[in-house]
Amino acid sequence: MNQSKISVRYAKAFFEFASEKGIVDTVIADVKLLSKSLNEIAELAEVFQSPIVKPSSKKSFVSALMKGKISQDTIVFLNLVIENGREMFMQDILRNVLDIYRKTQGITAVTLTSATPLSKKQEQAVVDLVKKQKNTEVELQTKIDPSLMGGFILRVEDEQYDASVSSRLKQIKKELIANN
């Protein structure tokens, strides 16, 4: 089965479960924490990805690490994913849960990557612009990437606007090479 189908199915099932139990806000907070943890803690992601670590060890590790930080319902879901041998899709599952949540709440995900930190006023201007364009609420995530040298890259769902200095320099170089 296609991995995207697997992650979407698990995400839908978990979101529907949360909706039925009336714990969507709790589950979304858990999913955000887990997603952030998997992205920032390489060892945690390695445990999920490793075929060498036994499922029982993975379940014990997750329970010990996350107990008190996420709800018991989320721990049960993680254990189910591990029991079914789908833990290597965990990051995709979590991403899809957040996508489903945003879609149901009318929230647009926006990622703003810049070379240096932007002021709150600049960030708010981007939020206001996207909110006006898309007529939705906006969830802004900011990233810093010094390799951009200046400018920014704005990603709104599947659309991307690249106004970075590094991109412009690459474009100029390409044009100069093409003209010779």
Tell me the domain boundaries of the chain.
Answer: 3-103, 106-179
Taking the C-alpha atoms of residue 94 and residue 59, their distance in angstroms, rounded to an integer, is: 17
At residue 1, the pLDDT reads 47
pLDDT along the chain (180 residues), means of 10: 81 97 96 91 85 91 88 95 93 95 93 93 93 92 90 89 87 86
| Three-state secondary structure call for residue 152 | strand
Closest CA to 7 of 84, 89, 77, 81: 89
CATH fold label, 3-103 = Peroxidase; domain 1 (1.10.520)
Our separate counts of H helices and E strands in the chain read: 8, 4
At residue 67, the pLDDT reads 86
At residue 2, the pLDDT reads 52
Dihedral angle of Cα 116, 119, 124, 130, to the nearest 10 degrees: -20
